[in-house]
Every structure is written in C-alpha cells, then in structure tokens.
Chain A
C-alpha cells in the first residue's frame, strides 16, 4: 500500500484539526438592512486619536460623532453632538452648545468635559498622535503638544458647563467647522480609555470590539482583522429614529480585482475603487452601477527647484506648457478626471483664475531661451514615481509629450512607496509625482503647504511674498478678502511653478442601485445614518 503517504496523513489531518474550520457564511441577511462595503486596506486601529488613514475614517464615522457632521446632501454642515454654535465678532472664540440627549453607547451622558479631556489626550506629547497638529489652530494647543506648556487650563478649550464648550483660536479659521468633521476632533470615552491604560499611550485594548464605547449612530460589534468589521445600529444614539441601516459590514480588500468580483457576485453593495481596466466595460454595460465622483484633490508633479536645470523657471514653465492634459485624462486615466490648469481644485466658493494652459510654441521658445534650443544639451534628468501601474502609464505618456513637443528626453525612475517618500522628503529627485487630497473642503489646505520650509513643500521652493500672503490670509476677517489673497497666491505659484498641475482627482467605484441617499461628497466623507437600502 501507499504506506509512506499514509504515515504522513495523520500529520496533515492534525494540522487541519489545529487550524479548525467551519465558520459562518458572509451574508445571512434575514430581512435586516445590512450594507456590505469594500473598505480598502485593513484599519490600523479604531482610536480616532491614533489613526491616520482613509479606511479608518469610514469606520470611525459610523461609531463616533463630532460636534458637527456632514449634512445629507454632501456639501453642507449639519449639527452633530452640538445642536447649535456661535462665533465671536473677531472670529476667534467659538461656543458650541451640546444637545441634552447626546449619549455614549454605554448610556453615559456626553458632556463638554468629555470633549475637553479628549482634546487634552490627543495633544499629550507621550501619546504621539500624528494628527494632533490638526488642533494647532487653538490657543496653546501647539505648545502643549510640544511639551512647552504643561498646564492644560491655558489651552483654549473650556467647558463652561456640562453642555457648553468654548474654543479659543490663535488666529481666525473660517474653515473650523469643515476641519471639525475630521475624526481628530471627535470625542472619546475617557473612562474606557483610562480603564485600559490608554490615556497617554497608543496600542491599548480599549478599541477592541468587546471594550469599545463610542457615540456614533452605530456601535462596533465585531472586528476580525483582514476579514471584516461589523457595526450595528446604536440604541443610545440621539438621532436613532433616523438611522436607516441595521448593520454595516466593512471589508478590507486590497486587490481591486477581487473587490470587483465580489461586487459582481453580490457579496458587496459598493466597492472602494474600480480598476482602470474595468471602467470602459462598466460605463458601457453597467452604467447603473458605475459612479465617478469629483474628489477634492490634485495630482501633480513636484519640481526640485534646487537643482539645474529646474532651478530655471523658464525650463519649469516649458515643461508645464507642453503637457496635453485633455488627452491624458481622456485616453490614459479615463476615470472622468478634470485636466488641471492650476493647482488648487475648484470648489463651490473658490476657483483660481490663474491658468497654465498648453502652448507648445511658447514652451519651445522658453526652452531655447534657457539655453536648450530643440532640447539640445538638455541634461539627463529623471521623473520619480512610486511603483504603481497607474502612475507608470501617466509618467510614460507625459515623458512622450515632452520628447515630442520639446525634444527633451526625461528618464523614468520608480521606487517603492516609503523609499519614494524618503527621496521626495530629501529632495533626492528632479521631477516627482505627487498627489494631495484635502484635509477638509477649504482651499486653505492647498495653500499653506507651499510656505517656506513647510513639511509638505518638498520642492525647495521658497518665496518671501508667498509666505507673507499665507500670513495675511490668516489675518483676514472675511472670506471674500481671504479668497482674493488666495488668488494672488495661486497666481504666484503658477508663475514660479515649483509644481506642474496635471489633473483633479475623481473617485471611481461600483455601487448597487439598491443603495439609497449615496450623495457625492468632495472628500468621500459621509454620515452613515442617512444611507438606506432598498428592499
């Protein structure tokens, strides 16, 4: 007989026994409204003061709620824990009035003191919260976060009573409400965090499903890493009567193709993304499932202005003028992206007037003026991008346009994500692909990054005039004035061109027509309580 094999068999069977099998199926929807959504990568954690990513944002928006939330139509602001608020005439003091029926998921009342203690925690140096800087607009917050100030009562957060929270800013911040929709401003349940010794350190167990206390429309019920996160309707949420779904299941799926297959077999109601290769087929055959939403972000190339030949603005301008953005979005990216002729994406109340359009003749003239007629003698420089099929095809298309229009030959260099980030930070590149998605829907988030020496500047570009405008924009008293300054900043940026704008992002995904009230939002930030499922 097959003796040797038979002798191995018990080993195999033992391994199977150890591993165990027979868990419950993915979908057992018995009349309950359960939404299944793809959610990108596995979440780092669910502590709003520790995480930094987009997948985390989706889940945290279900189980926590800030003072204000994204409204039902996707562009307005609706009351969250705060039922109303007012600002002082100089715009520096904001007073939030909390609703009486705001509760934690364990039934505890949610008070203004909870907010103050939460903000104290995120600013505590030893917690090392990466997004603590989002609160630095507040008086004393930055100093406390750096450890220069140890008395938190000097920081501009005050609970004047259980239901009144007063926030004092160090400069005017008209975008404060928008910024507050970000999870770094959400409250956390301090007694729970304390119980698991997480007040001043990361990585405590308070965010496990069995321990978690939140204040959102849903509560965390199950979290199986790399499998799924299940949230279920909260019985203590103040607006529970208007919550429509019974459960949401978030699936971390890294492969877009896998996600698309799951959508096709009905395992998902909505995907996180859609592969470029599937876009045409969906547009043609399943238009009812295809969605492309504008996304408040800019895809661009950084130019290292500290190295020749890119230290010459004429060369930078020549490169920027010779890209055919219309052709690029129509034939390469194909997901409805908008060609970018300025850096800051347009929004409802602010669209830059400065423009950098295609003009090959002018580009050639500038290049010749800079000493490279027809591209002759142009030094060998490289375009750096992080390893990805999408970035590669875009880089190849643009490389081709430069070769054809200017006669310059620019090499391509790809690097793994973190190596690429390091090269970018160290200015170890000539031209570098980049993307910037807004933190909140205000043009400010695209403006202050170009300040001299700013952590996200990464081009070596510096302009005293620009720095002055950044400061001036912080001191204005109304949006009209502020946006006028932004127009000047954009104009300066498009004259100096430390960056070449390429396109404005869209988000492309598949969604079942059964999902109701799924509105377009410029940051894909939504309050899950509005979402419904058709029967």
Chain B
C-alpha cells in the first residue's frame, strides 16, 4: 500500500508541472492585464508598474523565476491586493472554505445517506418517491436560487439568523445548508442506486437465508458495498465543495478562497490565479488518491496494484 501511495505521489509532480505551465502561459495570453483600467495611466507609469512586478522581463525568464520561487514555497505578491502576498491570502481564506466545506459535507452525508438507504429499502413505495423527489429537487434547484430563498425565509421573515456574514456560529447554518443540499441530493441518489444493486446480490440473499435481521443485513452487509459509488463521488465532490463555493461565498458574503479563485482571473491577478490553481489541483489529486485508498479498503475485490 505504501508503495502504491508513494508511486501515486511521485506521479503528481509531472501532472502539477503541466498544470502550472499551462496556467502560467494561458493567463498571459488572455487580453488585458493586471493594470488594465478604465482610466488609462501614462505609458511611463505603466512601465514602472511592469518593472516593479518583473513583468518587463522575457516571459520564459518570468516563468523560471516563478518556478524557482515556487520551490521555495513563495507564491509571490498579489497584483490586486498590494499589501498581501498570495501565501497570506491562501492561509487566511483556505480555512474558511474548508470549514464551509466541512459543514456542507456533514449536511450532505447526514441527509443523503439515510434518505438514499431508506429509498432503496422501501423501493417504489411512497417513502421512496419522497426521498427520490428530494434528490431531484436538490439537484434541480441551483444554489443561487436556494441561497436567497433560505436567506429570505430564515433571515428576513423569521429573523433567526443573519442574512449574510461569517461572524458567529449561527452564520454557518444557511451557507452550509445551501451548499449541503445539492450534494445531499447527489449522495441520496447514488446511495439508493448502489444499495439497490447490492441488495440483489447473492451474498445478501445468503445473509438473509442465514436468518440475519433486516437491520443487520442492511448496515453490516449491504451498506458497505452500497456506498462504493458514493465514495468515488465524494473525492471530486469534496474538491468541488471547496472550489465551487464561489456562488455561496458571494451570496452570503463569506471570506473564503472560492471567491478569490474566480475573481483573480477577472482581475488578471496572475500570481493569485496560479496560487489558487496549484492549490486546487493539489487538493483534487490528493483527494482522488484518498478515494482510491478508501475504495480498496471498502471493496475486498480491489487490491493495490
């Protein structure tokens, strides 16, 4: 297993290098730059600015300088936020995105797993339709509709929580529910599908014929196999929860990294674009590795190769 993980980790190096190189050059070829503004500055000032940030050097030298800095763990200064470095911005904001992601994941699993399981056990019953219906609704309603709806209900009409902000523990509720619902819906559907497949397997029939109780059959035997699709979904989903929280962060005014990920591209904040892309790429590669490990652990048929 350790050899497997070590090999996979080694493989990430060329992958990351390709991602960094592609991002570095792609963002440079987009029209407009970090200092393109509605009110034009004089050409002399623009030259000063470019010299200040080293943008006056040939592109390949900038690229190798960047790689050198990166090896030392320095992601450079932000072009937009003059007195912050990219490292600082990431250290400031990643924990917020992680926290939002963790709460949302909790909502997704606590809602999705039981609903999916119930739907599978009571297949084609009213309960199944109810749970599957929830799944459809959750997938169909986009977060930018769900978020304002929840804010309207709980923030403005009931006045239980703030409509936006990230100050007290109560401020976590609406964003986590909004983001969690979508993933809960997917989890419910995948759990139902996985469970249905497993419940028809021979070994479940064997377990039942041996006289195991229904609860024992479901929790001990079926769920383990039934969760496989959910686990393979969770790897990219967790990365998605962390990167895809741009909308939620904007609706609820949360100081997370998802917003920087998107805004930095609009601002042509070259270093921040690269910093966030590298971070998310690493995260996705790492989570996929975790998923592979967990799948082997859950499914005796698979082995580390």
Contact = CB atoms under 8 A, between A and B. Distances in A.
Interface of A: 1-5, 8, 12, 15-16, 18-26, 42, 44-47, 50-52, 125-130, 132-133, 145-147, 201-208, 224-227, 251-255, 257-258, 261-262, 264-265, 267, 416-419, 421-423, 425, 435, 439, 455-456
Given A23-B168, A51-B82, A258-B252, A133 B41 contact: yes
Nearest to B78: A203
B167 A26 contact: yes
B52 A421 contact: no
Contacts of B36: 418, 421-422, 425
Contacts of B89: 225
B165 A4 contact: no
Given A45-B81, A202-B82, A203-B83, A16 B169 contact: no
Contacts of A147: 44
Given A2-B219, A47-B83, A257-B148, A19 B95 contact: yes
B161 to A, nearest CB: 10
Contacts of B169: 21-22
Interface in B80-107: 80-85, 89, 92-93, 95-96, 98-99, 101-103, 105-106
A127 B41 CA distance: 14
B295 to A, nearest CB: 11
A470 to B, nearest CB: 16
Given A19-B99, A203-B83, A226-B259, 11 more contacts: A19-B102, A23-B166, A125-B48, A127-B52, A227-B166, A227-B255, A253-B253, A264-B163, A265-B155, A418-B30, A418-B266
B162 A21 contact: no
A208 B259 CA distance: 22
A418 B101 CA distance: 31
14 contacts: A1-B219, A2-B223, A3-B219, A3-B223, A20-B95, A42-B81, A125-B48, A128-B45, A128-B51, A202-B83, A252-B253, A255-B250, A255-B251, A416-B266
A19 to B, nearest CB: 3
Contact of B83 (A205, A253, A261, A264): A205
B207 to A, nearest CB: 15
B172 A126 contact: no
B40 A267 contact: no
Nearest to B117: A2
A318 to B, nearest CB: 28
B39 interface: yes
B123 interface: no
Given A21-B99, A25-B168, A3 B224 contact: yes
Nearest to A457: B40
A407 to B, nearest CB: 33
Given A1-B219, A262-B163, A24 B83 contact: no
Contact of B98 (A2, A5, A15, A252): A15
Nearest to B89: A225
B125 to A, nearest CB: 22
Interface in B209-264: 219-220, 223-224, 227, 231, 250-256, 259
Contacts of A2: 113, 219, 223
| Most interface-central of B31, B95, B99 (chain A CB within 10 A) | B31
B41 A455 contact: yes
Contacts of A227: 165-167, 253, 255
B28 to A, nearest CB: 13
A534 B19 CA distance: 56
A251 B266 CA distance: 21
B164 A456 contact: no
Contacts of A145: 44-45
B98 A261 contact: no
Nearest to A264: B156
A226 to B, nearest CB: 4
Contacts of B250: 254-255, 258
Nearest to A198: B83
A18 B102 CA distance: 10
Nearest to B172: A21
A19 B41 CA distance: 42
A254 B253 CA distance: 8
A20 B100 CA distance: 11
A21 B44 CA distance: 48
B35 interface: yes
A18 B96 CA distance: 10
B167 A25 contact: yes
B165 A226 contact: no
A421 B167 contact: no
B32 interface: yes
